[in-house]
Amino acid sequence: MRLKQVGKAKLPTLWGNFLIVGFEEKLTRQNHVALIYGSILGSEPVLTRIHSECLTGDALFSSRCDCGFQLNTALNYITTEGQGILIYHRQEGRNIGLLNKIQAYSLQDNGADTVEANQCLGFHADERDFTICADILKLLNIHTIRLLTNNPQKIKVLDNSNINIVERVPLIVGRNSKNAKYLNTKESKLGHLFNLRHKQ
């Protein structure tokens, strides 16, 4: 296993009281966390959100993406459900890093879409590695989930990593005039699913 669990602690939030669990990649020393709400042991399938780090959306309230809206809504869904897990996946800007993401924003300001901007900087449209999230789930002894996502790539990678997804729960929130092109590009070029709940 390329990850190790480092520590855990209580984390009170606006949505409720979570347990935060820290993980470290052994090779890169990159850190990720899981927020666990309620008793998830023995209660599979577990409502699960994999949320990729977005400083601008999550912490700075940017409206040029839907990330912050999705984070807040996912935490609300989990606490309303009474149990669940949110993995905060530390791969900023689809894993191109914060400063490269700011350069990508500049290219978007001049007409590029989010995919073209990443490619202009020499990256793939999406550089993220979701197998790390599968490893986190396995370390927590979670194997069957209901996945909060619009992203078919997450479904594919987790399925190939022997995580059983019994249901996709859409997370369609936060559309506005500033992020409409971004969301349309995610749908047309990255295949994101902006539709109703779908059983696998």
Which residues participate in the annotated binding site for Zn(2+)?
Answer: 54, 65, 67
**DSSP structural state of residue 141:** T
DSSP for 6-66? EEEEEEE-SS-EEEEEEEEETTT--EEEEEEES--TT-PSEEEEEEE--IIIIIS--SSSS
Greatest Cα pair distance in the chain: 51
**Residues that constitute the known binding site:** 49-54, 65, 67, 70, 92-94, 114, 149, 154
Q: In what order do the strands lie in the sheet with 17-25?
A: 3-12, 17-25, 31-37, 84-89, 46-52, 144-148, 164-169, 198-199
Q: In this structure, what token pair is assigned to residue 37?
A: 């709400």
Q: How many residues appear in the chain?
A: 200
Note if 126 is an active site residue.
yes
Distance linking the first and last C-alpha atoms of the chain: 28
CA pair distance 163, 142, nearest whole angstrom:
8
Note if 128 is an active site residue.
yes
**Catalytic member of 126, 135, 146, 168:** 126
**Catalytic member of 58, 113, 128, 168:** 128
For residue 45, whether the previous peptide bond is cis, meaning omega lies within 30 degrees of 0, is yes
Catalytic residue positions, numbered: 126, 128
